[in-house]
């Protein structure tokens, strides 16, 4: 399948180039986000009746992992409200053309931290406390507020969207899985970018801001770090930026050799498996350990969680891909081959989320009518009884996701192995074993 | 062999694995009674195994707050007040693995208060594993051809 340039359509092009449609979505999202913080802090402590829990961890999560990431990659980042207040403050404007004079400190992000290790750590921090975070409204409210203030703080100190690019716990995995999405933003002609003076897509111009994600669009080869903010479409004086529909996982044909991205793949794969066991499994002892933060059982749980992700799964994978040679070549091969885990990880999350979302989706309508749990009944749906949805298709749906992910990863392993000039068989066997484990956990 | 023929072959094998009837071990139905203690946020025992056709009685005893027990797929439920026993009776006429879960908001981890009922063998897990084997065989053949 060839790429299809969506921005050839005048309606799409105009909608993306204009700031107003995006601003309208931003405002709705920001209002919803602030309401989620307030609901978490002042609403009912009963999670399943609080807007913050129901709309963030059921509704938003379902849209993110089942639709936005698989089909639109970083589509969520394009409308995410978290960086907005900081960005407006940083620019000293909401829509006005950029003023070249920096409003704040405008520092460059430290070179040593220009990777996604901080995002790996921030995701793990949330993941370790997830049983509390997913179920306790005021904790969700505090975390949402902390993310908003962290984004504001970083926007004041550092240039561009440093929070999104280097710290956001969600942005890290969206970036990883956006490589599989059938949507991309790319330049049309490299020669045009090479000849372009001033590089307004990166440095900004009267038409718009320099890339908030600190990416030079002319060098884009994968989706991971392009936030689809559309600034470059506005600033390019040669109309050389396109949004394309493309085949799934096009970016994975040229695998990354970065260890931070490799470990992100392990973190996501391992977390999905641990969540499936802890949250959806029948083992009460595990749930107790995950929920009772600060107890000995929780510390053991945290140690096991981190060991599985940082030791067990990567070591087993390393054994599969090991050849005795110098460490640099081993690391490069390890990272390259771990690309194969990206489609599988995404499908693990899809399978996990299907179960979680379908059984709890009925809370959404009830929460819409009574978002703070104060006894309101705005739309007459507040007293809807809990009822799991579509449980008869759950297991077949999960099987389809997991087996589909296995095939997808097998094909990706073939491409990655070609790059690494090794056999893909050990990686495919690894994927097969973890898929069987996930099937056992979920079905 | 041409690629599309191979694909067709694997698709047919997949359909057989997914939908072919499995041999059923016929065991005379029994009356079976289980006592399940419910506490925040776990059942004990949390895993039940019965034979297809068994007449099941579950005595749900709540040891702290009000808890429920709803069985996915069977759409039956019971609700027990603290210290009280609620009884749930049904015939296990659907084979497979079913989650049972608390259907009365009982605290923070309520959505994850889950147990597992297995009626006969967990057919869908076996079928899923079979599909995974077929998938991996297909991928290996592709690898060899490339």
Domain ranges of chain A: 1-254, 256-442
CA distance from start to end of chain B: 13
Substitution target in B101, B108, B122, B140 with the highest count of A β-carbons within 10 Å is B108
Model pTM score: 0.95
The set of residues, in sequence order, having a beta carbon less than 8 Å from that of A91 and lying 6+ positions away, is A98, A99, A103, A209
Beta bridge partners of B55: B31, B91
Å between A360 CA and nearest CA of chain B? 7
Higher pLDDT among residues A330 and B1, named by residue: A330
DSSP A299-317: HHHHHHHHHIIIIIHHHHH
From residue A51, alpha-carbon distances to A130, A241, A358 in Å are: 17, 39, 17
Chain A CA closest to residue B129: A436
Q: What is the DSSP string of A379-435?
A: TS-TTPPP----GGGHHHHHHHHHHHHHHHHHHHHHHHHHHHTS-SHHHHHHHHHHH
Are B110 and A48 a contacting pair at CB < 8 A?
yes
Give residue A175's pLDDT: 97
Q: Residue B6: what pLDDT?
A: 82
pLDDT along chain A (443 residues), means of 10: 92 95 96 97 94 96 97 97 95 80 88 97 97 96 98 96 97 97 97 95 93 96 96 96 96 91 97 97 96 97 97 94 78 93 98 94 93 93 90 92 96 91 92 97 95
CB A237 within 8 A of CB A200: yes
Beta-carbon contacts of A421 under 8 Å, excluding residues fewer than 6 positions away, are: none
A287: chain B residues, CB-CB within 8 Å = 41-42, 109, 112-113
Put simply, the chain B residues between 40 and 99 with a CB less than 8 A from any chain A CB are: 41-44, 46-47, 70, 72-73, 96-97, 99
Q: Is the pLDDT of residue B1 over 70?
A: no
Contact A109, A214 (CB under 8 A): yes
Q: A252, A412 in Cβ contact below 8 A? A: yes
Q: Is B101 on the interface with A (CB under 8 A)?
A: yes
- Tens-place pLDDT, residues B67-78: 999 999 999 999
Contact A407 B128 (CB under 8 A): no
- The whole-number pLDDT of residue A440 equals 97
pLDDT of residue A160: 95
- Specify the pLDDT at position B23: 80
Give 3-state DSSP helix, strand, coil % of chain A, rounded to 5. 65, 5, 30
Task: Render A11-33 in DSSP notation, one character per residue.
Answer: HHHHHHHSHHHHHHHHHHHHHHH
The whole-number average pLDDT for the span B105-129 is 94
| A306/A285 Cα distance (integer angstroms) | 18
| Distance, CA of A250 to CA of A338 (rounded, Å) | 16
What domains appear along chain B, each with residue ranges and CATH number?
A: 3-19+28-145 (2.60.40.420)
CB contact under 8 A, B113 and A428: no
Judged by CB atoms closer than 8 Å, whether chains meet at A414 and B128 is answered as no
Decide if A399 and B128 are in contact by the 8 Å CB cutoff. Answer: yes
How far is A179 from A250, CA to CA, in rounded Å?
7
Q: Which two tokens stand for residue A348?
A: 């693990």
List the one residue out of A41, A133, A51, A37 whose CA is nearest residue A373. Answer: A51
Chain A's closest residue to B97, CA to CA, is: A443
Buried b (16+ CB within 10 A) or exposed e, B36-64: bbbbbbbbeebebebbbbbebebbbbbee
**Confidence at residue A400, expressed as pLDDT on a 0 to 100 scale:** 95
Tell me the nearest-neighbour CA distance from B74 into chain A, angstroms: 10
CA gap A182, A290 in Å, rounded: 36
- How are strands ordered across the β-sheet holding B42-44? B42-44, B31-39, B55-62, B85-91
Task: Nearest chain B residue to A399 by CA: give it.
Answer: B128
pLDDT of residue A324: 64
C-alpha of A203 from chain center:
26
Q: What is the mean pLDDT of chain B?
A: 92
User: How many whole angstroms from its chain centre is CA A157?
Assistant: 24
> Quick one: DSSP state of residue A109?
P
- Distance, CA of B73 to CA of B65 (rounded, Å): 26
Smallest CA–CA distance from A425 into chain B, residue: B140
Residue length of chain A: 443
How far is A320 from A262, CA to CA, in rounded Å?
15
Q: Which of B112, B120, B95, B125 is nearest to A443 (CA)?
A: B125
Q: Choosing among A43, A282, A285, which should be mutated to test the B contact, i.e. which has the most B CBs within 10 A?
A: A282
ipTM of the complex: 0.93
Half-sphere exposure of A72 (CA within 13 A, CB side): 15
Of B43, B124, B139, the CB nearest to A443: B124
B47-50, strands of its sheet edge to edge: B47-50, B114-119, B96-101, B67-71, B76-80
DSSP structural state of residue A250 = G
Tens-place pLDDT, residues B92-101: 999 999 999 9
The yes-or-no verdict on residue B3 having pLDDT over 80 is no
Task: Return the pLDDT at B27.
Answer: 87
Distance CA B105, CA A386 (A): 9
Chain-centroid distance, C-alpha B133: 21
As a whole number of angstroms, the distance between CA A407 and CA A267 comes to: 21
């Amino acid at each position: 399948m060839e790429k299809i340039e969506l921005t050839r359509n005048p309606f799409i092009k105009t909608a993306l180039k204009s700031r107003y449609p995006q601003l309208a979505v931003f405002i709705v999202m920001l209002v919803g986000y602030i309401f989620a913080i307030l609901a978490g802090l002042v609403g009912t402590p009963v999670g399943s009746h609080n807007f913050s829990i129901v709309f963030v961890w059921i509704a938003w999560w379902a849209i993110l992992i089942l639709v936005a990431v698989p089909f639109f990659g970083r589509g969520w980042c394009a409308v995410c409200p978290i960086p907005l207040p900081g960005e407006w403050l940083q620019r000293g404007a909401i829509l006005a053309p950029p003023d070249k004079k920096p409003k704040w400190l405008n520092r460059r992000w430290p070179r040593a931290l220009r990777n996604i290790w901080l995002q790996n750590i921030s995701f793990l921090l949330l993941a370790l406390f997830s049983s509390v975070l997913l179920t306790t409204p005021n904790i969700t409210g505090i975390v949402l507020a902390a993310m908003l203030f962290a984004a504001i703080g970083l926007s004041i100190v550092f240039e561009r969207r440093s929070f999104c690019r280097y710290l956001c716990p969600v942005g890290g995995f969206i970036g990883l899985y956006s490589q599989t999405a059938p949507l991309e933003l790319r330049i049309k002609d490299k020669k045009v970018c090479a000849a372009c003076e001033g590089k307004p897509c990166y440095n900004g111009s009267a038409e718009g801001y320099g890339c908030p994600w600190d990416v030079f669009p002319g060098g884009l080869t994968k989706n991971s770090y392009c936030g689809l903010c559309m600034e470059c479409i506005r600033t390019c004086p040669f109309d050389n930026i396109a949004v394309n529909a493309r085949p799934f996982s096009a970016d994975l044909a040229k695998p990354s050799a970065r260890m931070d991205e490799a470990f992100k793949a392990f973190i996501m794969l391992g977390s999905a498996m641990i969540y499936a066991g802890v949250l959806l499994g029948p083992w009460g002892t595990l749930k107790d350990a995950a929920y009772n933060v600060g107890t000995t059982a929780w510390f053991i749980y945290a140690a096991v969680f981190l060991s599985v992700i940082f030791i067990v799964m990567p070591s087993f994978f390393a054994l599969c891909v090991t050849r005795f040679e110098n460490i640099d070549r081993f690391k490069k091969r390890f990272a390259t081959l771990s690309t194969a885990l990206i489609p599988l990880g995404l499908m693990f999350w899809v399978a996990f989320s299907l179960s979680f979302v379908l059984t709890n989706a009925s809370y959404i309508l009830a929460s819409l009518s009574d978002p703070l749990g104060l006894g309101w009944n705005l739309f007459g749906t507040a007293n809807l009884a809990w009822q799991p949805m579509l449980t008869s298709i759950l297991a077949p749906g999960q099987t389809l996701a997991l087996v589909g992910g296995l095939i997808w990863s097998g094909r990706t392993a073939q491409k990655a192995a070609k790059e690494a000039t090794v056999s893909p068989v050990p990686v495919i066997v690894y994927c097969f074993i973890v898929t069987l484990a996930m099937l056992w956990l979920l079905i | 062999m041409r690629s599309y023929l191979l694909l067709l072959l694997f698709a047919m094998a997949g359909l057989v694995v997914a939908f072919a009837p499995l041999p059923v071990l016929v065991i005379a139905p029994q009356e079976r009674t289980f006592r399940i203690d419910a506490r925040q946020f776990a059942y004990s025992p949390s895993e039940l195994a019965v034979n297809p056709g068994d007449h099941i009685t579950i005595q749900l005893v709540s040891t702290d707050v009000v808890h429920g027990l709803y069985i996915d797929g069977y759409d039956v439920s019971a609700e027990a007040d603290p210290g009280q026993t609620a009884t749930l009776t049904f015939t296990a006429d659907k084979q497979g693995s079913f989650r049972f879960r608390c259907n009365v908001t009982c605290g923070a981890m309520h959505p994850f208060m889950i147990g597992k009922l297995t009626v006969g063998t967990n057919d869908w897990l076996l079928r899923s594993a079979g599909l995974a084997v077929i998938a991996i065989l297909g991928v290996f053949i592709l690898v060899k051809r490339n």
